[in-house]
Amino acid sequence: MTEQLVPEQPTNPEILKENPVIVVDIDGVLFDTPQHAVERWNAEHGTTYAVEDIFDHNAKHNKERGVGRHYHDDGSEIDPATGERFDDIFYGAQKDVANYLLMPGAREVLAKLKSEYGASVHALTARDKNNLGDVTLTALGEHFGVGEGDENLIDELHFSGDPDFIGETQADKGTILRDKLGAHIMVEDSIANAQSAKKANVATFVLSRAYNQTGHDWLPEETAPDWDTLYTLISQSLDKQGFKKLTD
3-state secondary structure 114-159: HHHHCCEEEEEECCCHHHHHHHHHHHHHHHCCECCCCCCCECEEEE
Work out the angle at residue 243's Cα, subtended by the Cα atoms of residues 201 and 102, and round it to the nearest 5 degrees.
75
Q: Which among 155, 202, 163 is positioned nearest to 183, based on CA atoms?
A: 202
Q: Which residues have CB under 8 Å from 112's CB, separation 6+?
A: 231
106 and 147 in a single domain? The answer is yes
Predicted confidence at residue 12, as pLDDT, reads 39
130 and 212 in a single domain? The answer is yes
109 and 66 in a single domain? The answer is no
132 and 85 in a single domain? The answer is no
Predicted confidence at residue 20, as pLDDT, reads 96
**For residues 225 and 208, what is the distance between their CA atoms, to the nearest angstrom?**
5
Identify the CATH number of the domain in which residue 176 sits.
3.40.50.1000
Predicted confidence at residue 144, as pLDDT, reads 97
Q: Which among 203, 196, 243, 185 is positioned nearest to 23, based on CA atoms?
A: 185
Predicted confidence at residue 106, as pLDDT, reads 98
Is 126 contained in some domain? yes
89 and 122 in a single domain? The answer is no
**For residues 191 and 206, what is the distance between their CA atoms, to the nearest angstrom?**
7
113 and 184 in a single domain? The answer is yes
Give pLDDT tens digits along the chain (248 positions).
Answer: 444 433 333 333 444 457 899 999 999 999 999 899 888 888 887 878 888 776 665 554 443 333 334 444 444 456 566 666 555 677 788 999 999 999 999 999 999 999 999 999 999 988 888 888 999 999 999 999 999 888 999 999 988 864 443 333 444 556 678 778 899 999 999 888 898 889 889 999 999 998 888 888 999 999 999 999 999 999 999 999 999 998 66
Q: Which domain holds residue 66?
A: 33-98
Predicted confidence at residue 119, as pLDDT, reads 96
Is 246 contained in some domain? no
19 and 94 in a single domain? The answer is no
Predicted confidence at residue 84, as pLDDT, reads 60
184 and 112 in a single domain? The answer is yes
Q: Which among 193, 196, 222, 192 is positioned nearest to 208, based on CA atoms?
A: 222
Predicted confidence at residue 170, as pLDDT, reads 42
Q: Which among 189, 94, 85 is positioned nearest to 137, based on CA atoms?
A: 94
